Amino acid sequence: MALKFSCVDAENQSMKNNKPLEIILGGSVDMEAQSLGLSVAAIRKAQGKKNPDDFPVDSPEWHRVCEEFVNDVYVALGGDPNDMSDDFTFFELGYESEEAYQQALEEERRKQT
């Protein structure tokens, strides 16, 4: 039986007080975030998808898979992927433009051959 809840029903004391949520390493929020990340990684692996840990950090493939991973986390949190616009991405790192990203991706592919 799947549990269903919505953000509308959630209460967060930090939001009421207009204060940022403090994440303490090893604290409950940190542990929940780690559990969610591990769960999404396990599901992706079972689906035959790659995870960010499968690639060298900052490689073009790592960036692409990180974006996919964060989108999957969004879905795991109850987000509807159909609500995202076509050009929407949650996660962009390291490249100043799409052209720079494509050049780095081509260079990485050349290195592998």
Report residues of the chain scoring pLDDT below 70.
1-22, 84-97, 101, 112-113
pLDDT of residue 1: 42
- What is the pLDDT, as a whole number, of residue 26? 83
pTM, full prediction: 0.56
59, HSE (Cβ side, Cα atoms, 13 Å): 17
